[in-house]
Amino acid sequence: MPFDVNNIRQQFPILHTKIGKYPLIYFDNGATSQKPQVVIDCINDYYETENANIHRGVHHLSQVSTEKYEQARKTIQTYINAQHDYEVIFTQGTTDGINLVAHSFGKLLNAGDEILISQMEHHSNIVPWQMLAEERGLVLKYIPMNQAGELEMGQLDNLLTDKTKLVSITHISNALGTINPIEKIISAAHKVGAKVLIDGAQSLQHMQIDVQKLDCDFLVFSGHKVFGPTGVGVLYGKEALLNAMPPYQGGGDMIKKVTMEKTTYNGLPHKFEAGTPNIIGGIGLGKAIEWLAEQDLEAIKEHEDELLTYATAQLSEIEGMQFYGTSEAKGSTISFLIEGTHPYDVGTLLNQQGIAVRTGHHCTQPIMAFYKIPGTIRASFSFYNTKEEIDQFIIALKKAVSMLS
């Protein structure tokens, strides 16, 4: 069937609300996505009819909850093509997943070992490595970027050495929309024996990711950006690596046996899932991934590319427009400033007209320092957005600029 954006929109109840007298136009998908009715129903139904703690319970509700939680893990395994379901670790989100790897994989590293990131990373993929480097005497390097918001790939071979133990890189920049050549980065890193973590927070909702084809060692992403609940995410890791890493947290479910003298740890995935998890978060994420798997990802990409091209052309006609992130390979995100205006003021006036965008540094202060700006206005699209919404956005933006001039 041809891609039908109106049919998609009918599945998202929040898209039919109003902000004051204006219909909501939601262009803040880089921060969080909206949720289809099937995910909302899944959450409601669980709490109404199935709520119980999982694992080890002998009663009916516990067994039902456990089965649904573990089925969600298998759904995610299939979607990202992990070899085993126990390579899928439920986390609190992308940030938690990166911190888990920094804590656990980090304990396998020694003083003088090197970690490589990039200049365009989200703070969540910078700060944990800075903390780890300081704690263990590691060397933290970064791949610089150019004015177009692309990584300087010509410097990669010089940055990678036999001391490089991990490369942690964003697939798509949340601030610029740049799609990084992760296949090349993974291949180059593996040649020097380094492992690779891919931050997929901005990519899994826009394209198919096959972890076996990519041969990445770790992948992290957040549920709330892929049409699922907040407070849940996934760390994928290769079995051998996860087995070699010590637990991240201690507590219930991550143990085999506890005595007052010694504890032995559980196997995967439970070794990294201490305590009562976000059960409905995991189940809801599984439902969101199941729903996403039913969509035509090629048609989605084509639609989002059209939105990006159309919006860029319309914005280019506004006097004083300055784009940040002009890479040829881009996701459906536009960051910009308009001469003579402050992004916060523009965002506030757009909100008064029912339009949701993000303003500020987008948790990427090194990017803003590179461009010598305090922040940008960011419009980030999903496949439920339309050209008609972009038209209204342009009208509202021109009105805001005229009010601030």
Tens digits of per-residue pLDDT, 324-361?
A: 999 999 999 999 999 999 999 999 999 999 999 999 99
Mean pLDDT, residues 97-123: 98
Question: Which of these ranges, 73-87, 169-183, 241-255, has the smallest mean pLDDT?
Answer: 241-255
Per-residue DSSP letter, 179: B
Q: How does pLDDT run across 70-94, given as a tens digit for each residue?
A: 999 999 999 999 999 999 999 999 9
Burial 230-251 (b: 16+ CB within 10 A, else e): bbbbbbbbbeebbeebebbeee
Look at phi and psi of residue 171 and say left if phi exceeds 0, alpha if psi is from -120 to 50, else beta.
alpha
Three-state DSSP at 375 gives: coil
pLDDT at 405 (0 to 100):
84
Say if residues 40 and 288 touch (Cβ distance below 8 Å).
no
Q: Band of the pLDDT at 3, cuts 50, 70, 90?
A: confident
179: Cα within 13 Å, side-chain hemisphere = 12
Provide the residue type at 166 as one letter.
Answer: L
Measure the CA–CA gap between 72 and 234, rounded to whole angstroms: 11
> Could you say which of 24, 363, 373, 394 is catalytic?
363
Say if residues 123 and 98 touch (Cβ distance below 8 Å).
no
Q: How does pLDDT run across 130-153, given as a tens digit for each residue?
A: 999 999 999 999 999 999 999 999
Per-residue DSSP letter, 192: T
Q: Band of the pLDDT at 1, cuts 50, 70, 90?
A: low
Q: How does pLDDT run across 10-23, given as a tens digit for each residue?
A: 999 999 999 999 99
Three-state DSSP at 183 gives: helix
Mean pLDDT, residues 162-167: 98
Domains and CATH numbers, the chain: 5-30+296-404 (3.90.1150.10), 40-293 (3.40.640.10)
pLDDT at 42 (0 to 100):
98
Q: How does pLDDT run across 277-324, given as a tens digit for each residue?
A: 999 999 999 999 999 999 999 999 999 999 999 999 999 999 999 999
In this predicted structure, the answer to whether residue 375 has a pLDDT above a threshold of 70 is yes
Q: What is the pTM of this model?
A: 0.97
pLDDT at 156 (0 to 100):
98
Say if residues 216 and 198 touch (Cβ distance below 8 Å).
yes
Our answer to whether residue 42 is catalytic in this structure is: no
Q: What is the mean pLDDT of the chain?
A: 97
Burial 382-403 (b: 16+ CB within 10 A, else e): bbbbbeebbebbbebbeebbee
Mean pLDDT, residues 213-223: 98
pLDDT at 348 (0 to 100):
98
pLDDT at 57 (0 to 100):
87
Q: How does pLDDT run across 249-268, given as a tens digit for each residue?
A: 999 888 889 899 999 999 99
Measure the CA–CA gap between 400 and 405, rounded to whole angstroms: 9
The tokens 């939680």 sit on which residue?
A: 69
Per-residue DSSP letter, 276: S
